[in-house]
């Protein structure tokens, strides 16, 4: 099927080309028609009448060509305007995305400076007390408490650095992903067990919703545990005391496996949902109110899910809770069956 007529008019039959063709053929028409009439007709009156007819014919052809030229010009201008509008819209969207990214990075840096400053102050402060022996010679019972505070602050800083390095490593494609078909229930049990103490501190009930104990997942085991752990940590962090967090797993409708973490916590504002899984993004931007949020947990999850060619879905309502679902694709063997 050939290209549409409007495309030909806008690309091949440009106004300049039509004008050149018209001048060329018009000149040839005048020269050869006059010579032909003069050589074929001896009667001057008859030649005059034929010249009149030829003139009217030339007027009609000229009118048709002018109409054709106006259509071609209109189509060309319309195409140019459409392309210009598309380019302007792309530019506006790019500027909007750049502004959002810049704002997210600004919020992230503000939060990171706050998060790093807190443990650093503790490390330097308690280290100075130990170094100066302000409470007497080393060995006093209070020094043990301060040494533990130094250790805890260092662990917090190490976790921050590890999260940042994880994102950089995954997005640079330098983290190896070894996918195997694995039983899912043991992985969920490891994850739930590790979060029991943290949930117990807030009297949060942890549940497992897994109807089929034989359910399997095609993924990197370490990555799968890290994904579930980050989702569980976020859910517990933003769920009030006495709340509930559920880890669920089921076969995905289109094949593969779906892992879901549900909570009845504070929820995510609607304007934050499109960007909450991006690096440097936070549910609460104020570093003094962020509840230890670094804005990296969901970013790590999304990077790992993308590395597995999976899909991340987030649904949330303020004051009612959040549901995060990760879809892992099926194994190549399952697709061939």
pLDDT in tens, 40-65: 766 677 767 776 777 777 777 777 77
Q: What is the pLDDT of residue 200?
A: 93
More confident residue, 163 or 234: 234
Q: What is the pLDDT of residue 104?
A: 67
Task: Please name which of 118, 126, 149 lies closest in space to residue 135, comparing C-alpha atoms.
Answer: 126
- Split at pLDDT 50, 70, 90, the class of 294 is low
DSSP string across 4-56:
PHHHHHHHTS-HHHHHHHHHHHHHHHHHHHHHHHHHH---HHHHHHHHHHHHH
Q: What is the pLDDT of residue 6?
A: 47
Mean pLDDT of 298-313: 89
Question: What mean pLDDT is reported for the chain?
Answer: 78
- Split at pLDDT 50, 70, 90, the class of 8 is very low
Contact 9, 66 (CB under 8 A): no
Q: What is the CA radius of gyration of the chain?
A: 37
d(CA 274, CA 285): 15
CA angle 57–58–59, rounded 5-degree value: 90
Helices 44-132 and 141-171, axial angle in degrees (round to 10):
160
Tens digit of pLDDT for each residue in 238-270?
899 999 999 999 998 888 999 999 999 988 888
DSSP string across 50-105:
HHHHHHHHHHHHHHHHHHHHHHHHHHHHHHHHHHHHHHHHHHHHHHHHHHHHHHHH
Model-wide pTM > 0.75: no
CA atoms lying within 13 Å on the CB side of residue 40: 10
CATH for the stretch 180-336: 3.30.565.10
CA atoms lying within 13 Å on the CB side of residue 276: 21
Q: Is the pLDDT of residue 304 over 80?
A: yes
Residue 292 phi, psi (nearest 5): 65, 15
Task: Please name which of 267, 271, 183, 259 lies closest in space to residue 226, comparing C-alpha atoms.
Answer: 259
Mean pLDDT of 61-82: 74
The architecture CATH gives domain 103-171: Orthogonal Bundle (1.10)
More confident residue, 163 or 216: 216
- Can you say whether the dihedral through the CA atoms of 261, 267, 272, 274 is positive or negative? positive
Q: Is the pLDDT of residue 187 over 70?
A: yes
Mean pLDDT of 300-309: 89
Q: How far is CA 147 from the centre of its chain?
A: 44
- Split at pLDDT 50, 70, 90, the class of 211 is confident
CB atoms within 10 A of CB 43: 9
d(CA 34, CA 50): 10
Range of weakest confidence among 107-111, 155-159, 208-212, 266-270: 107-111
More confident residue, 108 or 289: 108
d(CA 179, CA 83): 44
Q: What is the pLDDT of residue 1?
A: 46
The set of residues, in sequence order, having a beta carbon less than 8 Å from that of 36 and lying 6+ positions away, is none
The set of residues, in sequence order, having a beta carbon less than 8 Å from that of 162 and lying 6+ positions away, is none
Mean pLDDT of 231-237: 91
d(CA 327, CA 330): 9
- Split at pLDDT 50, 70, 90, the class of 20 is confident
Using alpha carbons, list the distances in angstroms from residue 168 to 146, 171, 298. 33, 5, 14
CB atoms within 10 A of CB 73: 16
Q: What is the pLDDT of residue 271?
A: 83
């Amino acid at each position: 099927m050939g290209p549409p007529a409007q495309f030909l008019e806008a690309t091949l039959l440009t106004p300049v080309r039509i004008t050149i063709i018209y001048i060329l053929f018009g000149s040839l028409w005048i020269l050869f028609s006059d010579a032909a009439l003069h050589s074929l007709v001896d009667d001057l009156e008859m030649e005059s009448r034929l010249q009149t007819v030829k003139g009217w014919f030339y007027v009609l052809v000229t009118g048709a060509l002018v109409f054709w030229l106006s259509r071609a010009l209109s189509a060309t201008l319309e195409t140019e305007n459409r392309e210009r509008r598309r380019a302007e819209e792309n530019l506006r969207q790019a500027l909007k995305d750049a502004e959002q990214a810049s704002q997210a990075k600004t919020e992230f840096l503000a939060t990171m400076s706050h998060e790093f400053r807190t443990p650093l102050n503790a490390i330097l402060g308690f280290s100075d007390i130990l170094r100066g022996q302000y409470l007497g010679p080393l060995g006093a019972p209070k020094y043990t408490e301060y040494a533990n505070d130094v250790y805890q602050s260092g662990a917090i800083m190490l976790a921050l650095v590890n999260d940042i390095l994880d994102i950089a490593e995954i997005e640079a494609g330098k983290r190896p992903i070894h996918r195997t078909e694995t039983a899912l229930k043991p992985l969920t049990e490891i994850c739930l067990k590790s979060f029991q103490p943290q949930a117990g501190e807030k009297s949060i009930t942890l549940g497992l919703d897994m109807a089929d104990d034989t359910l399997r997942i095609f993924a990197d085991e370490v990555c799968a545990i890290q994904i579930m752990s980050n989702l569980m940590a976020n859910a517990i962090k933003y769920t009030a005391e006495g709340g509930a967090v559920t880890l669920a797993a089921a076969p995905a409708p289109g094949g593969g496996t779906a892992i879901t973490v549900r909570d009845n916590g504070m929820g995510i504002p609607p304007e934050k949902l499109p960007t909450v899984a991006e690096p440097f993004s936070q549910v609460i931007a104020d570093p003094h109110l962020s509840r230890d949020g670094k804005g990296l947990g969901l970013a790590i999850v999304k990077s790992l899910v993308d590395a597995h060619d999976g899909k991340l879905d987030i649904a949330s309502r303020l004051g009612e809770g959040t549901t995060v679902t990760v879809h892992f694709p099926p194994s190549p063997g399952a697709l061939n069956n």
